[in-house]
Structure 1
Amino acid sequence: MITLRLISAALLFNSHGDLLMMKRSMNRTLSPGMWAAVGGHLEACEMALPRAACLREIEEETGIAEHEISGLRLQYILMRLKEQEIRQQFIYIGQTDRNPRITTTEGDLHWIPRHEIMNRKLPFIFHFALDHYLVHGDTPHPWVGTSTRDKNGDPSVSWTPLLDPNLV
């Protein structure tokens, strides 16, 4: 039986271009010890509200409130099959110059300079999303990324712009 896991996360940049990242605790179920965005699972009441889940996770993990974030917008929807689980992740991009005000057992928060981001040990699909964002930057539309394999059999992500065909 295939199950579904919905996740919402934020790439928060400061005015210097640094990215707020979490070095995940070794006791985490998903991606222990790896570097990731701030975020987590959608609650049952948030199934149609991934932005609300993202804001909740930001506040729970950093203490940064919605009014301290500017330009928060959906940039990526990532899909992958992991064993018998479809993982769908909503990635939002935003800006803040607020430093985290709380600590969490989920991991340690750090501002990572833009040129060092890709040198971190990153979860597979998150690595591809960060690489795509650092190359393409902000776009007027979100992207859908689905995990796949390239012609050599190596893990890859296939990117498609998410556009309303009635507005194109």
Structure 2
Amino acid sequence: MIRARMLATAVLFHDGDLLMMKRSPNRTLSPGMWAAVGGHLEPHEINDPEAAVLREIQEETGLLPEDLEELRLQYILIRLNEQEIRQQFIYTARTKRRDVNLTEEGELHWIPRAEVMNRSIPFIFRRVLQHYFDRGPHPHVWVGTAGYDSAGTATVHFTELVDPQQV
């Protein structure tokens, strides 16, 4: 049986630094690796991933909506993980402040952009960061699907999300 899981993630910047979480070694998802803040959508958030990401930001960092600028949905990722289809909504924003709370999820650190890719990052998040760092913020949303390239190497294929009726 294939199950579905929806997640919301925040890629938060402040003065060129990215807020990253070194996940606790006891976590089920990506233990000990560096990731962004975020988590699963609650049932009442299924039609509102922005509410989910704001909740996750507040729960994991203490940052409130008024502490954020330019919150924008930038990516929707879809991938198969064993018998689970994961759909992940990735938002970007700038924070007005750097002070964040302690969290049981892991340790929060502001990492200079030039050092981010030197961390142990889950494959899918690494591909998103590479794409974002190469292209920067966009007014549109990218859809990424995990798969393989012609050489058989795991990759993420990105496509601009468009409404064909508006083209």
TM range (shorter): over 0.9
- Contact 2:69–2:96 (Cα < 8 Å) also in 1: no
C-alpha deviation, 1:152, in angstroms:
2.1
The residue identity in structure 2 corresponding to 1:79 is I
Q: Which residue of 2 aligns with 1:22?
A: 21
Q: How many residues get paired?
A: 167
Q: Which residue of 2 aligns with 1:62?
A: 61
C-alpha deviation, 1:97, in angstroms:
3.1
C-alpha deviation, 1:99, in angstroms:
2.2
Q: Which residue of 1 aligns with 2:133?
A: 134
Q: Which residue of 2 aligns with 1:46?
A: 45
Q: Which residue of 2 aligns with 1:33?
A: 32
TM-score relative to the length of structure 1: 0.97
Q: Which residue of 1 aligns with 2:83?
A: 84
The residue identity in structure 2 corresponding to 1:10 is A
The residue identity in structure 1 corresponding to 2:165 is N
C-alpha deviation, 1:163, in angstroms:
1.1
CA deviations over 1:104-141 (Å, ceiling 9, x no partner): 11000000111111111111111100000000001110
Matched, 1:8 2:26: no
Identity level (%): 60
Secondary structure of the 2:71 match is strand
Secondary structure of the 2:164 match is coil
C-alpha deviation, 1:167, in angstroms:
2.3
Q: Which residue of 2 aligns with 1:166?
A: 165
Distance 2:34 2:157 in 1: 22
Unaligned 5+ segments in structure 1 are: none
Most deviating of 102-111 and 91-100: 91-100
Counterparts in 2 of 1:142 and 1:59: CA distance versus 1, 3 Å: same
Unaligned 5+ segments in structure 2 are: none
Distance 1:120 1:151 in 2: 27
TM-score relative to the length of structure 2: 0.97
Most deviating of 98-107 and 152-161: 98-107
